Amino acid sequence: MFYCFSLTLSWGQSNLIPNPSFEDMILCPTSDDQLYNCVGWDAYGSPDYFNSCSVSPDVSVPYNWGGYQQPSSGNAYVAIGTFGDPVFGYQCSDSTYCDSREYIGRSLSIPMTVGTKYFVSIKINLSLSNSIYCNCATNNIGILFSVNEFDFGIPNPTLIRNEAHIVSSAIVTDTAGWTTISGTLIADSAYQYITIGNFFDDPNTTVQIMDTNTYCNSYYYIDDVCVSDDSLTCISSVGVNTLNALANLFCYPNPAIDQLNVMIPDIGDNICAELRDSKGKIVMSTTNLFPGLNSLNVANIECGIYYLKLGSAQSIFSKRILIIH
């Protein structure tokens, strides 16, 4: 028997990534290159930390120097550079040009068990910003696991190895919604660390310039990092999926006023739904939904942006909902 409360617990308890959506912090960020204020996460290069608590317009949420973006969940996210144009003079530690990359990483809560299958996912969003000369999209954003922690570097060319455990071969160009990069692996070592970024060199990275300039600098927001041996916890399909554009999950009207109609795909029996606010608080929970058209009463829910999560024993889907009265 599948119940909504068991789904809720599995989302949080089975994830091997502590502080997966960058909510826990030491101090609010005040400027760029302050990932050290985010509990548990390490910076390779100079990735940036954004949080709604910041009083700086550069690194606040949802408005910041990268543009406008609501978090996938909670109040925070980080951003990394995945490609830097040589015209901007990016340099390695020995003052010679190298492929410019930024990475984020941290330790898992427990090491992976050799021979166990793990489900892995992250959410990314492309930032296009004239103020920081970011105008380009790339492929090859991925996830690399390691037994030992990598050395720091600005940037760190030792991380460019033209391979990773989970990789998006598609160029991610979505600047509005969050795109999920996901996959599975069977651990062949007791991996203890995760690192996220572009691990491929320039000749093996495909780029797409999104404006009329000739240079290419790529900058992506990252949120909701997940690693689990539970298929219900992380997105389990291989490749790239845009959750908010899922063809078979249709919600209307959106914005909703009093009633939200949800056309649920055939994902099994005992389907449940949770509506969470931007801070992750559950404001509505219901069980015993069914494939097809379902109606949810949202008349007593305050106006704002919410995230509808639908789940069964087989699948979990997410949709961003706007409620107005």
CATH of residue 114's domain is: 2.60.120.260
> How distant, in Å, are the alpha carbons of 61, 224, 265 from that of 68?
8, 18, 31
**Residue given tokens 């996912």 in the structure block:** 121
Are the C-beta atoms of residues 312 and 305 closer than 8 Å to each other? no
* Residue 6 within a domain: no
Rounded to whole angstroms, the Cα distance separating 231 from 243 reads 16
**Residue given tokens 């404001």 in the structure block:** 283
Answering whether pTM is above 0.85, one says no
The pair phi, psi for residue 126, each rounded to 5°, is -75, 130
CA triple 182-184-188, angle to 5 deg = 140
Q: Which residues of the chain have pLDDT under 50?
A: 1-3, 5-13, 93-97, 154-156, 236-248
The reported pLDDT for the residue numbered 317 is 65
Q: The domain that contains 314 carries what CATH number? A: 2.60.40.3080
Domain boundary among 217, 241, 265: 241
The reported pLDDT for the residue numbered 279 is 67
The reported pLDDT for the residue numbered 268 is 65
Query: What DSSP string describes 205-217?
Result: --EEE-SS-S---
Q: Is the dihedral of CA 302, 307, 311, 317 positive or negative?
A: positive
> How distant, in Å, are the alpha carbons of 253, 297, 299, 309 from that of 258?
10, 6, 4, 19
Q: Are 151 and 200 in a shared domain?
A: yes
Rounded to whole angstroms, the Cα distance separating 192 from 112 reads 7
The reported pLDDT for the residue numbered 52 is 93
Q: Are 226 and 78 in a shared domain?
A: yes
> How distant, in Å, are the alpha carbons of 33, 56, 135, 320 from that of 17?
22, 28, 31, 23
Rounded to whole angstroms, the Cα distance separating 172 from 178 reads 10
The reported pLDDT for the residue numbered 98 is 53
Which amino acid is residue 47, in one-letter code? Answer: P
Its domain, for residue 118, covers 13-241
Nearest to 14 by CA among 6, 25, 22: 6
Tally the domains of the chain: 2
Domain boundary among 241, 263, 288: 241
What are 210-266's pLDDT values in tens digits?
A: 989 998 999 999 999 999 988 778 864 433 333 333 334 577 887 889 999 887 776
Q: Is the dihedral of CA 290, 294, 295, 296 positive or negative?
A: positive
